Amino acid sequence: MLESIVFDVGETITRDDRYWATWADWLDVPRHTISACVGAVVAQGRDNADALRLVRPGIDVAAERAAMEAVGRGEPLDERDLYDDVWPALAALRELGVRVVIAANQTARAYGALLAVAIGLVSCRGVDQGFGTWSLAQLVGPGMPSASVPE
C-alpha cells in the first residue's frame, strides 16, 4: 500500500503563469519572452530564475523581488493558481490515509500563501532551512500537527 507521496509546488500543485507574468510586467518584457526563457533554462536543467538573467543580465533577483514586494507587486499565489485537480486529488489521498509531502524551493511568502489556501482542508508543517525559502510542507497526512508557519 502507498504510504507517502511527494509533489513539487510549481507546475505540479500550482500554475506558474501568473508568477512569471508578474516578472515580465515588472521587467517590461513581453510575457511570452519570459515564458520561452523559463522553458529554455528548465530544459537545460538550470535554475528557472536564470530566465530573468537572460532578459536582464546582471539582475539581482532578490533585490528586484524585494522592490516588487515593497510596491505591492510581489509574487501572486492564491486559490486561482492551483490546478483544478489538486483538491480532489488531495482529498482522495487523505481518504486513503496517504501522507502527502509538498516539496518546494519557494519563498517564505509563497509558503504562507499556500498555507492560507490550505487552512481548513489540511494540516501543515513547514521546515525553514534559513535561506528565506521553505523546503518541505507535509499536507494531508494522518496525525499531522496543527498548521503553523515556519519561524
pLDDT digits (tens, 9 = 90+) for 59-95: 999 899 999 989 988 877 788 888 888 888 887 887 8
C-alpha dist (Å) from residue 85 to 12, 28, 65, 89: 10, 33, 30, 6
Show the domain range for 84. 4-13+78-139
Cell numbers 510575457: residue: 31
**Weakly modelled stretches of the chain, pLDDT under 70:** 104-106, 108, 115-151
Residue where a domain terminates, one of 54, 70, 86: 70
- Looking at residue 61, its pLDDT comes to 93
The crossing angle, in degrees rounded to 10, of helices 17-27 and 61-70 is 90
Same domain, 119 and 45: no
Report the distance separating Cα 74 and Cα 79, nearest Å: 16
Same domain, 65 and 84: no
